[in-house]
């Protein structure tokens, strides 16, 4: 494990303690510095995109369920008559410029999560460090788009937004401290600002903020080659895999959540947690491993790889958004354009 990975693991252990540890207390001066820099960065004049914007993001570092929330929101907007597009920074990609995400793009070029969103939704997706520039470029290329979903970007204040969905998972806010003493990117508010809503990727709320819980379901297991070719309906129900041993791996922010859901579905798995956005420069499982279960976020980087004799199955995670949350968001948007 690299020094950076060891440092990250150390911080994570302390961040997710319910009380501030000695290390978190030692980092308090840097926490104050971060708070000051964040306030200064937030002091910008927001500028509007050509169409309404809904931002989906976290108050905490790392993923809490943004990607399945974005996918579910895109589908809810389509059901309401909108033609959505998605913008994202494209975390972990090479470069910061603005560009479209094509279905056959490399994750290194556009980022693993934007590529997954593009493949799952088939709507226009553009990436760029400057989210406003990405929004303008997408709308110029796709004039039919009448609403944008921003994958992450709560702290990207330059982009004006009509609504925000803040996603928390079962970890809540950990020790409640700001970076680097804790996992928070901004302070937890005492109450929600107008236009900001909370979605819990958990069975019950995990903070004091009012919010609704997503209904989480695992999809069927789809052979990697079928998933990559856009044939997700060729999968097999998870209950048909009972009694077989699998190696399950996940390069996501909370791998244990994936493993727990697989086990709750009755599967027998050996767990292989990997760092978030793992690049799969080399295959992480032992040679001769017969069958592996992976997340869709990992599948975008494994597609097309030589896997030897290992059979790789992709198991997707789907969210169903509470209707109350969808209606709250829709009330803040202009009506969809007449086609």
What Cα–Cα distance (Å) separates residue 95 from each residue in 98, 288, 338? 9, 36, 37
The pLDDT tens digits of the residues spanning 172-201 come to: 999 999 999 999 999 999 999 999 999 999
What letter would DSSP give residue 152? S
Is 67 assigned to a binding site?
yes
| Among candidate residues 92, 78, 61, the one with its CA nearest the CA of residue 120 | 78
% of the chain surpassing 90 pLDDT:
81
Q: Does 85 appear as a known binding residue?
A: no
62 labeled part of a ligand binding site = yes
Task: Kindly state the average pLDDT of the residues 272-293.
Answer: 93
How do residues 239-255 score in pLDDT, each as one tens digit?
Answer: 999 999 999 999 998 89
Whether residue 60 is annotated as binding a ligand: the answer is yes
pLDDT category of residue 263 using cuts at 50, 70 and 90: very high
Beta bridge partners of 201: 169
Contacts 24+ apart (CB under 8 A), 283-287: 283/307, 283/308, 283/310, 284/249, 285/247, 285/249, 285/310
Q: What are phi and psi of 227, to 5 degrees?
A: -60, -45
- pLDDT band, residue 1 (cuts 50/70/90): low
pLDDT band at 337 (very low <50, low <70, confident <90, very high): confident
Ligand-binding site membership of 63 (annotated): yes
> pLDDT tens digits for 37-87?
988 888 889 999 999 999 999 999 988 999 999 999 999 999 999 999 999
Q: What is the pLDDT of residues 81-114, one digit of tens each?
A: 999 999 999 988 989 999 999 999 999 999 999 9
Q: 149 versus 231: which is more confidently predicted?
A: 149
User: Rounded distance, CA 304 to CA 227, Å?
Assistant: 11
* 338 DSSP 8-state letter: P
Report the pLDDT averaged over residues 256-269.
Answer: 96
What pLDDT is stored for residue 267 in this prediction?
A: 96
Place 8 in a pLDDT band, splitting at 50, 70 and 90: confident
Q: What confidence score (pLDDT) does residue 183 get? A: 95
Class of domain 41-214+321-330 (CATH, top level): alpha beta
Sequence-distant (≥ 6) Cβ neighbours of residue 26 within 8 angstroms: none
In tens, the pLDDT along 123-180 reads: 999 999 999 999 999 999 999 999 999 999 899 989 999 999 999 999 999 999 999 9
Does 206 count as an annotated binding residue?
no
66 is in an annotated binding site: yes
Q: Give yes or no for a contact between 336 and 80, defined as CB atoms under 8 angstroms apart.
A: yes
pTM: 0.94
Q: Tell whether residue 137 is among the known ligand binding residues.
A: no
pLDDT of residue 58: 94
Instruction: Determine the average pLDDT of the residues in 16-26.
Output: 89
The pLDDT of residue 264 is 96
Please give the pLDDT value at position 12.
84
């Amino acid at each position: 494990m690299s020094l950076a990975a060891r440092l990250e693991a150390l911080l994570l252990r302390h961040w997710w303690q319910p009380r501030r540890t000695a290390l978190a207390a030692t980092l308090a001066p840097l926490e104050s510095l971060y708070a000051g820099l964040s306030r200064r960065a937030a002091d910008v004049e927001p500028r509007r995109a050509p169409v309404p914007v809904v931002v989906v993001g976290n108050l905490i570092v790392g993923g809490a369920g943004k990607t399945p929330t974005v996918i579910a929101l895109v589908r809810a907007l389509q059901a309401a008559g909108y033609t959505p597009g998605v913008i994202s920074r494209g975390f972990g990609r090479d470069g910061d410029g603005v560009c479209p995400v094509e279905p056959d793009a490399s994750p290194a070029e556009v980022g693993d999560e934007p590529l997954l969103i593009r493949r799952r939704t088939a709507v226009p997706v553009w990436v760029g460090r400057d989210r406003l520039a990405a929004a303008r470029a997408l709308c110029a290329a796709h004039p039919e788009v009448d609403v944008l979903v921003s994958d992450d970007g709560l702290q990207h204040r330059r982009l004006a937004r009509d609504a925000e969905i803040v996603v928390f998972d079962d970890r809540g806010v950990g020790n409640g401290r700001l970076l680097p003493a804790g996992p928070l990117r901004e302070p937890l508010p005492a109450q929600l600002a107008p236009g900001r809503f909370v979605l819990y990727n958990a069975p019950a709320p995990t903070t004091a903020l009012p919010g609704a819980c997503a209904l989480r379901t695992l999809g069927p297991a789809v052979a990697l080659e079928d998933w990559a070719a856009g044939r997700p309906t060729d999968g097999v129900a998870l209950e048909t895999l009972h009694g077989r041993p699998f190696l399950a791996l996940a390069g996501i922010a909370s791998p244990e959540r994936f493993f727990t859901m697989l086990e709750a579905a009755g599967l027998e798995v050996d767990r292989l947690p990997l760092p978030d956005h793992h690049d799969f420069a080399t295959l992480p499982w032992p040679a001769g491993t017969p069958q592996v279960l992976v997340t869709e976020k990992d599948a975008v980087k494994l597609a097309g790889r030589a896997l030897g004799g290992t059979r790789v199955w992709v198991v997707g995670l789907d969210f169903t958004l509470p209707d109350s949350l969808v209606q709250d968001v829709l009330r803040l948007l202009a009506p969809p354009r007449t086609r």
